[in-house]
A and B are shown apart, each in its own frame.
Chain A
Amino acid sequence: MKDLKSSDIEEIKNLKAGDSFFLSGTIYVARDRVLNEMGKRDIFPPFLVNSIIYHAGPTEKNEKGFLSFGPTTSKRMDRFLPFLFENGVLATIGKGERDVDIHKKYGKIYLLAFGGLGSLYGSKVKSVQPVLFKEFKSEALFRIDIDRFPLIVFIDRRGKTMIKQEK
């Protein structure tokens, strides 16, 4: 499986549905509450342009200093995709299916992380920094540095999905 960095923008844009790879580098974490607030107040920080957004919410760090940090269901956040894509977000990561037509319309990709495997993804998060709406706790906007997240391209920029490709 190939290794990509979050800064490999052109390569990431052109990934094909069904491709599996490891992603490293800096990405951002946003889920329901923070995306709702950003949309309502029309806040879009410039550092999110060309960024990858991971739909997730971490646990607290335990007494040994480790945390669990897997993906949450993306479908709930489909309503925020036009806002994210119009402002230049490169791709999203989450679990489960999501709206294909929006991805086709904006020419964006959606990356699948495996749900229910929080310890695995948590072990690959090297630093966590809340950057916006810190009062939202696990629902804040975070900047995280990751090392080799296992991902599969669920929807590619032409609107093809990994499942249809298999049939």
Chain B
Amino acid sequence: MKKIDKIVVDKIVDLYRKISITPSLFVKKEILKVKPKGKREKLFIDSYIENNRLSFKNRTPLCQDTGHLSVFIETPSNFCFDFDIEGELKKRINFKSKKFGLRYSIVDFKGKYSNYPSVYIFQGKRKNLKIVLMAKGGGSENLSKLFMLNPSSSLDDISEIVINCVEEAKDRGCPPYILGIGVGKSSLESLLLSKLALTGKFSHNRKGYEKILSEKILKGSLNVKTGFSGLGFGKTLLDCRVIIKERHIATLPLSVQFNCFQERVGVLYL
């Protein structure tokens, strides 16, 4: 039986800080591809570049909403944690958030603030331990949707629903967006699939029909004119990551999750 010691906790906390202050290279490339024309467009692009520079120089989070941290742990079959990893993570993240200048964005019903993460552990077909972190702010999280579709719905129907979601989201979640789409399983699992897809680290768009759906959504979203920061220029949607699984014959759950342009995802292999 393979075991892992508590050192993993500090590695996760350090990675949380790193993703909070380091811009997504994929998004950066996409944003900087666009040549600003007007004064407002230039102001946004210049501000984005300056924000990246300041985060690097001052070690401050790219966005003050350092998010709700999701920790997805995929283990080999012969593996166990012999300590309470969720409990240790809660303690260490809370302790280090102050020093790292992260925000205590989580609040309980008594009004107590923390930075408690959500931890998901599942067994995978792999030899090492894979840990994926995704820190996601409240603005994009509030755009999440679950639809229970008629099982006879086509990929075109699904694509139309998702494009409507992008249109309706307007600029409330900091566009340009990245989408995670989960189709199949139960309502609960489709939401989880969409979140896993959103990380970009769990084999999305691999099957032919996943790729087709992703392309349809990306193509259709070109007509959505929200653009960067709602200013009407640049793409509204930069990427669409789809995972489709089997379903009950009477159901077709569809989940849609948005990420903002400050995509904060990191991965550790141990």
**Chain A residues in contact with chain B, CB under 8 A?**
1, 18, 20, 56-64, 66-70, 72-73, 75-76, 95-97, 112, 114-123, 135-138, 150, 152, 162-163, 166
User: Are the CB atoms of B40 and A58 closer together than 8 Å?
Assistant: no
User: Are the CB atoms of A119 and B104 closer together than 8 Å?
Assistant: no
Q: Report the bound CA distance from A1 to B46 in whole Å.
A: 13
User: Are the CB atoms of B100 and A62 closer together than 8 Å?
Assistant: yes
Min CB distance, A18 to chain B, in Å?
7
Give the contact-size bracket for chain B: 35 or more
Q: Verify if B174 is at the interface (C-beta below 8 Å from A).
A: yes
Q: Contacts of A18 on B, CB cut-off 8 Å?
A: 40
A114 and B60 in contact, given A20-B39, A20-B40, A63-B99 (Cβ under 8 angstroms): no
Q: Report the bound CA distance from A29 to B90 in whole Å.
A: 29
Q: Report the bound CA distance from A40 to B58 in whole Å.
A: 39
Mark each residue of chain B from 135 to 168: 1 if its CB lies under 8 Å from any CB of chain A, else 0: 0001100100000000000000000000000000
Q: Verify if B180 is at the interface (C-beta below 8 Å from A).
A: no
User: Are the CB atoms of A123 and B58 closer together than 8 Å?
Assistant: yes
User: Are the CB atoms of A114 and B229 closer together than 8 Å?
Assistant: yes
User: Are the CB atoms of A60 and B229 closer together than 8 Å?
Assistant: no
Of A72, A135, A137, which contacts B138 at CB under 8 A?
A72
Q: Verify if B102 is at the interface (C-beta below 8 Å from A).
A: yes
Q: Contacts of A118 on B, CB cut-off 8 Å?
A: 51, 60-65
A-B CB proximity, top 4 nearest: A62-B101, A118-B64, A66-B58, A115-B174
Of B62, B104, B171, B260, which contacts A60 at CB under 8 A?
B104
User: Are the CB atoms of B43 and A116 closer together than 8 Å?
Assistant: no
A119 and B98 in contact, given A97-B171, A137-B113 (Cβ under 8 angstroms): no
Q: Contacts of B171 on A, CB cut-off 8 Å?
A: 95-97, 115
Q: Report the bound CA distance from A26 to B66 in whole Å.
A: 25
Give the dominant DSSP class at B's interface: loop
**Chain B residues in contact with chain A, CB under 8 A?**
39-40, 43-44, 47-48, 50-52, 54-55, 58-66, 97-105, 111, 113, 138-139, 142, 170-174, 229-232, 260-262
Which chain A residue shows the least CB distance to B49?
A120
User: Are the CB atoms of B64 and A59 closer together than 8 Å?
Assistant: yes
Of B62, B170, B261, which contacts A68 at CB under 8 A?
B62
Q: Report the bound CA distance from A67 to B62 in whole Å.
A: 10
User: Are the CB atoms of A59 and B66 closer together than 8 Å?
Assistant: yes
Which chain A residue shows the least CB distance to B103?
A59
Min CB distance, B64 to chain A, in Å?
4
Q: Contacts of A58 on B, CB cut-off 8 Å?
A: 64, 103
Q: Report the bound CA distance from A135 to B104 in whole Å.
A: 13
Q: Report the bound CA distance from A112 to B47 in whole Å.
A: 13
User: Are the CB atoms of A115 and B61 closer together than 8 Å?
Assistant: no
Min CB distance, B22 to chain A, in Å?
12
Of B48, B51, B103, B111, which contacts A57 at CB under 8 A?
B103
